[in-house]
Structure 1
Amino acid sequence: MLYHVRMDVSIPPDMPADKANELKAREKSYSQELQRSGKWRHIWRIAGEYANYSVFDVEGNAELHDILMALPLYPYMKISVTPLCRHPSSVRTGDA
């Protein structure tokens, strides 16, 4: 299943820089691992915000939930999820 996910990050301003940097490094490593596996298909920065739009390709709700909960920055995120399905007018055949 495909999911459109918006993630807004709000790291507390009083978090020590070394802790924030360590969380960001773990987040980057985890997200790139998921991208390489094909589960995190796309990630797009939202200009001017500490936020992104992403597309996940996972088995279902439970797998997406587990992936999102494992994000190192999860405690500092507001996340909204929209399930996607193929549009009948799409000319692309590679998307489910």
Structure 2
Amino acid sequence: MLFHVTMDVNIPNDADPTAIDALKAKEKARAQELQHAGVWRHLWRVAGRYSNVSIFDVASNGELHDLLSTLPLFPYMEVRVTALCRHPSSIHDDDR
């Protein structure tokens, strides 16, 4: 199943910068791991915001939730999820 996921990150101003830098490094590593695994198919930064738009390819809503909750910055995220299905006019065979 494909999901369009928007993640807005809201780190408190009084958060420890060293701890946040460590979380960001872990976040990058986890995001790249999931991309290499093929479940995080697209990752796009939203210009001008600490936000991204992503496409995930997972088996279920539950799998997506479990995966998102493994992201180190998850406690600081507002996440919006939209389930997707193939458009009949699409020319791409891999957008199931």
Secondary structure of the 1:42 match is strand
How far, CA to CA, are the matches of 2:49 and 2:82 in structure 1? 20
How far, CA to CA, are the matches of 1:79 and 1:95 in structure 2? 22
Tell me the TM-score normalised to structure 2 length. 0.98
Structure 2 gaps of 5+ residues are none
Tell me the TM-score normalised to structure 1 length. 0.98
1:86 maps to which residue? 86
Matches of residues 14-25 of structure 1 in structure 2 within 5 Å?
14-25=14-25
1:69 maps to which residue? 69
Percent identity, aligned pairs only?
57
How far, CA to CA, are the matches of 2:94 and 2:56 in structure 1? 15
How far, CA to CA, are the matches of 1:94 and 1:16 in structure 2? 42
Structure 1 gaps of 5+ residues are none
- Aligned residue pair count: 96
Once the 2 structures are TM-superposed, how far is the Cα of residue 94 of structure 1 from its aligned partner?
1.8
Moved over 2 A (4+): none
Secondary structure of the 1:41 match is strand
Aligned residues: CA RMSD: 0.5
